[in-house]
A and B are shown apart, each in its own frame.
Chain A
Amino acid sequence: MRIEARGVSVHANGVALLHPLDLTLDPRHLVGVLGPNGAGKTTLLRVLANLQRPDGGRVLYDGVPASQLGRTTLARQLAYLAQGATVHWPLTVEHLVGLGRLPYWRLWRQDASADARAVTAALRATETEALRHRTLATLSGGERMRVLLARALAVEAAALVADEPIAALDPYHQLQVMEVLRETARRGTLVVVVLHDLTLAARFCDRLILLDAGRVVADGVPDVVLSATNLTRVYRVTVVRDTHDGALYVVPWSRHPGT
């Protein structure tokens, strides 16, 4: 799915959270959204996922606004993975992942075999098949996040919007989740993900959008966006930048003096 933001702006209590911005996000891309705390990343994601109405401008999904698309159609085409998502009842992993099929239900389940296939595929993609009958309360933080990702994958949407899916994970599982997201994008899905890890963003994303104070500061391939100048200006840190196995890595090294 192609998501277009046209002149989208958001403000709250007279403060601009997002200044008018234009973005076109293409299918088959893993797009990373970067920026310091309070830059407007989550706001942008919520607007793109139609969870928040922008105060100006509009968002188009394959050229069609959400109001014309209809809530159910959009729910089938766009999956949202919330930040630090909580689950309120101790459901089994299987039932939880199955909730990703809700957009396909009418008053009751329509196509049980399609639902079962999607759930199994999502569990396999996130390597959580063995957890199928466990309840969420018994899982580790990393397992939980993968299960929640599986829930989002089970929607089999054309676009996946994920807010900091690797923030609480150890390095092994961070790499694993990034691999799953890249795989998902390779299969034709648009994946938009908020990240804080600059190196993982550089290695896995096809395109990065750097936000600061509600404005797009840089937008393009990782090598260009993650320039020392950009990072110093936006994050107020000096970074160590080098390549390893031909891939860029970026390590924040010290706070930038005088900012």
Chain B
Amino acid sequence: MTPATTTGRGRSPRALPSRGWLLTGLALLVLVLFVVSLAVGRAPLPVRQALDDVLHGRTTLASLVLLEIRLPRALLGVLVGMSLGLAGAAMQGLLRNPLAEPGVVGVSGGAAFGAVLAFYTGLSVAVPLALPLGGIAGALLAVALLALLTGRQASTLTLILAGVALNSLAGALTALALNLAPNPYASVEIIFWLMGSLADRSLHHVLLVLPLMLGGWGLLLRTAQALDGLTLGEDTARSLGVRLGRLQLQLVVGTALAVGSAVAVTGTIGFVGLVVPHLLRPLVGYQPSRLLLTSALGGAALILAADIAVRLLVVGPELKLGVVTALLGAPFFLALLYRLRREIL
């Protein structure tokens, strides 16, 4: 093995951006995209005047559009993006597999089914926040089932297999709900919701998911060192003082809170948790701990950018965000796999 055969991997760490610069750069990128996201939309909005109105407490059409439509959308973009990026990085660290993503353990599927059930039963019409609450309940139910299936000292393989089983179950139940939908309109609504979007969400949604996401992020960020230890395998990690059972619990509950609540308000937005950690990993020298926050900011940037693109691309009805991320993410990931297949196998 010569360094020439592994270009990119054998690169000196001196060529890497320092931790501070990388995080600052990504945070600035998120900030810029956030502002752009406020300014961009179907209806033209005089941003400066809207901001002025808001600051002076004047209720005008412009200030309403900014506060009620644009702001929740941009805020949710940041929150959901961070959740997906962070959970993706943590999950890849736990499973030590660059193909893992938050959906692997069945949390996304459970959340989607919970939300669909709220749709199906008509609760979402009767109670304003039934949809996100249903999603979160679904995510937590998935976690409870996962814990039941895997027990306390689960191997990684058991965790993956349980996740696969839960995803199929959630998928089957979702399909059943579609199958039994009372009218075609309900089915179409469910299908569109499942595609994932940030449009038409309110500050109530933001306030509902914010504490759950913060809790989830806290749990996920605390796994940093244990994930580094896990690089050396489970036995060695344990000899370094890592509690594997606790690590898995933190990660699964953290993912349920962060991704479950994200799916619950936006539908399923795929590939962000898969592609973002993968892209950023070389920039942090492949260290799982350093990837967490980096990947969270990268996820926020990607979601904001994709959501801006959705609004700028005018092709009939507005494209769903989840459709766009999947359209961008899937080919990108295929290309990545094709390039990396020798290293992965």
Interface residues of A (CB under 8 A from B): 46, 49-51, 71-72, 74-76, 78-82, 85-92, 94-96, 99-100, 102-103, 105, 107, 133-135, 137-140, 151, 155
Contact = CB atoms under 8 A, between A and B. Distances in A.
A102 B240 contact: yes
A90 B235 contact: no
Contacts of B286: 89-91, 135
A103 B228 CA distance: 12
B128 interface: no
Given A85-B233, A92-B285, A99-B228, A49 B10 contact: no
A46 B235 CA distance: 9
Q: Which of B14, B96, B236, B287 has the most CB of A within 10 A?
A: B236
A33 B71 CA distance: 66
Contacts of B183: none
B233 to A, nearest CB: 6
A74 B242 CA distance: 11
17 contacts: A72-B241, A79-B239, A85-B233, A87-B231, A87-B233, A89-B286, A90-B6, A90-B9, A91-B287, A95-B287, A96-B232, A99-B232, A100-B240, A103-B240, A135-B6, A135-B11, A135-B286
Contact of B10 (A95, A102, A138, A155): A138
Query: Closest 3 A-B residue pairs measured CB to CB?
Result: A75-B241, A80-B239, A88-B96
Interface string B227-258: 01111110110111111000000000000000
Interface string B177-217: 00000000000000000000000000000000000000000
B9 A80 contact: no
B212 to A, nearest CB: 22
A76 B240 CA distance: 8
A88 B239 contact: no
A74 B233 contact: no
Interface residues of B, number: 33
If over half of A's interface residues share one DSSP class (helix, strand or loop), that class is named, otherwise mixed; here it is: mixed
A244 B13 CA distance: 47
A107 B222 contact: yes
A49 B239 contact: yes
B211 to A, nearest CB: 21
Interface in B1-19: 1-3, 6, 9-14
A111 B229 CA distance: 18
B305 to A, nearest CB: 27
A96 B232 CA distance: 8
Contacts of B222: 107
Contacts of B285: 91-92, 95
Contacts of A107: 222
Contacts of A103: 240-241
A88 B241 contact: no
B229 to A, nearest CB: 5
Contacts of A91: 231, 285-287
Contact of A102 (B2, B228, B243): B228
Contacts of A135: 6, 9-11, 286
A136 to B, nearest CB: 9
B85 interface: no
Contacts of B236: 80-82, 85
Contact of B230 (A78, A81, A88, A140): A88
